[in-house]
Amino acid sequence: MSIYGQYETTLQRVMDDIEARLVAYQQKVQSETGENAYEHILARIKTDESMREKCNRKGLPETEKSALVDLTDAIGIRVICSFVDDVFNIVEYIKSFDDCEIVVEKDYITHAKPNGYRSYHIILAVHTTEEDVLGNTPGTYYVELQIRTIAMDTWAALEHKMKYKKDIPNQELLVGELKRVADELASCDLSMQTIRELINN
């Protein structure tokens, strides 16, 4: 039995629902402007193994409640955009969902992390007609959304690889290089945004 127990099918439905809203938003923006709202979406339910590992790492028991309430990233959706403005437009769109509540919002784009990480993070509490692990109906399920540009995403993947790989020679040097590259990419993202505005206007 997975750590999500009987709630796994609801998790899948909640994820599909939020993903479908983002796909509808893409279609609306495309039909109105002829441009993409985003480049692609990656949606996943954290595997049983990763969730159990995270519970252990955070000192939580391996229970349905830990996985669905104490940790809020069982459902993860990443939205990758070409331009920084598109990221903020999607954030506004997500804020318009009236059956959901934003319980955590972290703008690591305006305030990058010291290592150079940039991304917009939202934890969304989705209220559904189905029961949750606390016995509430309507139930609440959480979705972690990470919205960022292609450049930010490429950087995050590389930095993640470095963090989890042991015994990398010159790691300190690489940390500094990654920070420098993150700032350069942010500057390129802004220039791309400006050029797009100049073309469109």
Residues in 126-185 at the binding interface with ligand 0O2, rule: CB under 6 A: 156, 159-160
Token couple for 41:
């979406």
b/e for 14-35, b at 16 or more Cβ within 10 A?
Answer: bbeebbeebeebbeebeeeeee
54 is a contact residue toward ligand 0O2 (CB under 6 A)? yes
Exactly one of 65, 121, 127, 196 binds ligand 0O2 (CB under 6 A); which one? 121
SS3 call for 119: coil
Would you say 83 or 117 has its CB closer to ligand 0O2? 117
In the complex, least distance from residue 38 CB atom to ligand 0O2, rounded to whole angstroms: 18
Applying CB under 6 A, the site for ligand 0O2 has a residue count of 10
Residue closer to ligand 0O2 by CB (options 28, 113) is 113
Instruction: Please say whether the beta carbons of 122 and 105 come within 8 A.
Output: yes
Contacts of 51 (CB under 8 A, 6+ apart): 3, 4, 67, 71, 74
By the rule CB under 6 A, 113 interacts with ligand 0O2: yes
* Contact set with ligand 0O2 (CB under 6 A): 54, 73, 106, 113, 115, 117, 121, 156, 159-160
